[in-house]
Structure 1
């Protein structure tokens, strides 16, 4: 035994904090004392300080049971009316809210009242276990799904309330409550099980010595199988060799009456032999009527409930395909049902079991006898014939006879048979084997009656004509069968291609989707082609509120909302067609990836349409790539958020570094000047005092500009900047800018080129002036001492340009687009290594607010930088132009 198996076994035996433990009290029949034993165990737990509640306990009027129940805390039952009858059910939500350590739930296989959250009580128990609550429960062996046929064969009673075997197999502890049949019958006669009237009816119908003995054996076998599983687990925990799981069991199922019986038998065999098992249906294109399809679907659903795998294969040969699949899955046992003794099967190699025995090598083939089918109630649904296909066979024969009669004068007798063969082929291609065989027989009779001498008679005079007719009938049957088989194969390939195309098309659409909305749009576009269904996708806002993301409107009734909430919380389908809240009209499928819900897919058939199991399975298959695409979109959003967070942190660090320097520098200079004036006072010469005060004023103005830049950038970023436009002369903007920066521009050689016939600007004058000040100040800072600085204003038909050129170090072409980013302070950039880097960003925001733009080029004589502000021109006002002239 490897270490992984031992580790798995040890982990399986460890208590899980997130899930409760199930203890089952199993009995062979009612009255053996299961509920009494459960209540006794509950009293023991309560004496040990375990908090518990009674969810539901059925005493059936037994005094001893009621006495034990009286000492335990109980949660009141929920009452509901159904068809005039008041029903009581366990308060599941109340138990979940109270959340005791242990809950007592009687009758595990009970069917809940219509309108309950779950159809079965064992589903309620699964929800309690998922909430971390331990459960004690009781069940009789006849309620196990895999034993349903055996119990019916033993007692003659069809048990309607069943539960999947895996529920019992998941129990942490199984306690067999046994009572000899004679003692049970005595208790029954004494009225300790049922009231006297019910007791007499039970003894006559169910509680017989033979029935109870057989049920007792089934209960012991079930308990023994559980003990065997526990023993194997114990061996694996010790690291010793345990009974190895070898091979696999395959059960071949068709749409006949014994399909469910085969599945139950396969489940029992797999459990006893410790084999994983699969239900395999080979679709060879044979026509299935509605009854056969329903039987097959019920068998597949039963296999899923019993823990089996459902596999659908498409191939023309059933036996060959089963053998190939068994080899691929390394199966050791194949279980099939006995075929009906048809004549054509005897002539062409026997049924499925005979072909498996003949061709399978190294496989164990088990055949389940079909004699028990006689005990099953026959369906009242009449088998409908496909009248149109058989009518086509008759019409084709008539047409072929007319055509052959028309050409009989020019064609020899053997060639006329080809006309009838063509009719048989046509019917086979258009329908199936049955109509093709009918057409071949009718063609045989028509050929004999019309063309074999003596004409218009079925008698045959010449011996060679008998052989001709027999060969004709054989060829017609073979060609018809071959053509029908090819048609079935073609239809099967079409179905497979359709399913593959659905998956491929959705995957291709989802691959191109980059965000959540794109993924949902792609899914909606793909599913919109399903005209018979309404499809929607919902998202949960975390407060039990549903948001429709795509698809049609959804009217949430109480049942619909409860089903959607349950599916979202538990990651399992709910609603229509399921065992959880099936009263609604929608089927809810959660899209989960890594145990996290991403969205909820809702499907509702249109009025008069059916939601077929094929569509349900295909949607389940499509949900996997859809969920993965949603997970990929969420990951992309998280990465983008992380990137933005990193950039924000980088900008914040740059802002703190820049502001701490650019704000502290003028403050330090101002503080030094003020301290000097306070300390020395009149001792400082008048000119020096004036210089200190002017320096303080300049630094204060510099500090004011920094703060104004920060405030302007904040207003620009939040859209709070208001444009108070008015007509203004470009010369006024230039003059005001030079006047405000006279101290900064004093060491430089400043020249302006301002034509007299410039048009007026319709702008917010203060903002454009501030933008021009930022550009000029930026140029002055990086101009060399006594360097030149030129300001040129020019106009075209649609824009006016303010160009500021300097002789500074210039900006590399690769970095010119970056200088307008906030906090950009590259060493070679236009702002060098100092400053907040907001000046040019503010310029771009202010000019852009007017519909303009900023460009960067070469400076004076190819040196330095030239920054140009481009502002759009409006139609000039006539009055202002005349005044200007």
Structure 2
């Protein structure tokens, strides 16, 4: 199938110059389907008015015809009114016809009308009637003045038409350049779009951007378009005025090329900047959050090994508990870092199987007090990796607990809809402004935390990564009445709980 644009030529132009590309392709298409689509330039010709002529093809044809026919019609009319009007009135009517012809076909048509009108006026209305002779000197002067006035009026009208044409072209050039410049500034016009616009504006066969000046060839016009770029147009030969406008087009194309180069350079630098920001954040976070539990555990173990101090059984138990909590916190931080690294590297292995919420909620909530669970009993099983889903829930509940005011509980609910289970972790904290949600799931972000004792800021980033690895989604919502709700959406399991898991790498 072929899709072609409707011709920009008007109906008369298509009639006079024959079928164009669209008509020819349609005629020769055979079994190929041809679709003709309209556009804003359909039937309106090229964008810039031509300087080569001031009149359309229709007016160039209609002008001489009117110059011959209109005086004859006026002669026939005045012949019926002979004796009613004097010679002056008859000459003025012929002069009016000449002016009308000048407006239609320009100075050449007006000359034809003036000669025709002079001959008819002499033959039919100036004595001796029926002969091309002038016996009265006044009649000779009147006929001469008539011819001069007619030619002068025709010249003035033709000059007015030329100036109007030039003004229209200048206006079209200004509008085109203004639109082109605006699209470049707004970043709307790509280089292929600019080349196509240039080709259509100048009515060329093709427009290309090349790195070196092309060799001279018939129908080839090349202008520089910035450093190391040339705009090459193939088709008709352009006039000097069109070359001037083309140079401005080439300057805009050069600006677009430079803009594209800068954008490409910025795109190449952005990953490096992002990695540098990530590395800086990691070093800053590790410098405190890994050192704090390490220092606490180290201090507890060092105290227990000291021979200078005698500890009671209660003191020893407290020191051992401190060391145990510190090592557990270190272990969780290191596991989060490793899991995030596996996610980013695509090396995390999943064991997906049918998993019920009753299976993963108890261990996920074991370390977080004051959690209320509701409406999870009748929820269908989801397709997930149980240990990873447990970690997702634990991270979300732990984050919600840090932001929940004293005396309030974190609420965990679930619902099933359209083949998916939505698990909601709801807190009644201060919530989060809309402008902070874009950074909510970035690593090493602790939005809303007022201290530096809450971990590396990997919990939500890891929770989203693990959820998406299991073909789920994690998104924030506002809690009615204040707070933040984290929604985990996972698909239903296609097999019953207890079936063999499917192992895959992400």
TM-score, normalised with respect to structure 1 = 0.43
1:719 and 1:451, CA in 2 relative to 1: closer, same or farther beyond 3 A?
farther
Q: Deviations over 1:81-135 (max 9, x none)?
A: xxxxxxxxxxxxxxxxxxxxxxxxxxxxxxxxxxxxxxxxxxxxxxxxxxxxxxx
Q: Compute the displacement of 1:585 (Å).
A: 7.2
Answer whether contact 1:810 1:830 (CA < 8 A) is retained: no
Q: How many residues align?
A: 438
Separation of aligned partners in 1, 2:412 and 2:66: 97
Partner SS, residue 472 of structure 2: coil
Q: Give the corresponding residue for 1:467.
A: 141
Answer whether contact 2:424 2:485 (CA < 8 A) is retained: yes
1:602 to 225, 228, 231: 231
Q: Compute the displacement of 1:587 (Å).
A: 4.2
Partner SS, residue 224 of structure 2: strand
Partner SS, residue 229 of structure 2: strand
1:803 and 1:507, CA in 2 relative to 1: closer, same or farther beyond 3 A?
closer
Partner SS, residue 182 of structure 2: helix
1:874 to 479, 492, 501: 492
Q: Deviations over 1:553-590 (max 9, x none)?
A: xxxxxxxxxxx43xxxxxxxx44xxxxx5359754433
Root-mean-square deviation (Å): 4.3
1:650 and 1:390, CA in 2 relative to 1: closer, same or farther beyond 3 A?
closer
Q: Compute the displacement of 1:619 (Å).
A: 0.9
Q: Give the corresponding residue for 1:855.
A: 476
Q: Compute the displacement of 1:473 (Å).
A: 1.9
Q: Give the corresponding residue for 2:30.
A: none
Structure 2 unmatched ranges of 5 or more: 1-50, 500-506
Structure 1 unmatched ranges of 5 or more: 1-284, 289-387, 539-563, 566-573, 576-580
1:727 to 332, 336, 354: 354
Separation of aligned partners in 2, 1:437 and 1:490: 21
Superposed, which structure 2 residues align to 1:585-624 within 5 Å?
586-592=220-226, 597=227, 600-606=229-235, 609-624=236-251
1:680 and 1:618, CA in 2 relative to 1: closer, same or farther beyond 3 A?
same
Q: Compute the displacement of 1:771 (Å).
A: 0.9
Answer whether contact 1:802 1:869 (CA < 8 A) is retained: yes
Q: Compute the displacement of 1:880 (Å).
A: 5.0
1:583 and 1:663, CA in 2 relative to 1: closer, same or farther beyond 3 A?
same
Q: Give the corresponding residue for 1:531.
A: 203
TM-score, normalised with respect to structure 2 = 0.70
2:466 is equivalent to residue 846 of structure 1: yes
Answer whether contact 1:819 1:840 (CA < 8 A) is retained: yes
Separation of aligned partners in 2, 1:816 and 1:873: 28
Separation of aligned partners in 2, 1:611 and 1:496: 16
2:445 is equivalent to residue 824 of structure 1: yes
Partner SS, residue 835 of structure 1: coil
Q: Give the corresponding residue for 2:385.
A: 764
1:867 and 1:705, CA in 2 relative to 1: closer, same or farther beyond 3 A?
farther
Partner SS, residue 408 of structure 1: helix
1:392 and 1:824, CA in 2 relative to 1: closer, same or farther beyond 3 A?
closer
Q: Deviations over 1:677-697 (max 9, x none)?
A: 66659x878887676566544
2:291 is equivalent to residue 664 of structure 1: yes
Partner SS, residue 536 of structure 1: strand
Superposed, which structure 2 residues align to 1:319-468 within 5 Å?
393=64, 396-397=67-68, 399-410=70-81, 412=85, 413-434=87-108, 436-468=110-142
Separation of aligned partners in 2, 1:735 and 1:474: 110
1:722 and 1:600, CA in 2 relative to 1: closer, same or farther beyond 3 A?
farther
Q: Compute the displacement of 1:703 (Å).
A: 1.9
Answer whether contact 1:790 1:805 (CA < 8 A) is retained: yes
Separation of aligned partners in 2, 1:857 and 1:439: 83
2:166 to 488, 492, 503: 492
Superposed, which structure 2 residues align to 1:491-530 within 5 Å?
491-513=165-187, 518-529=189-200, 530=202
Separation of aligned partners in 2, 1:473 and 1:703: 109
Separation of aligned partners in 2, 1:442 and 1:784: 103
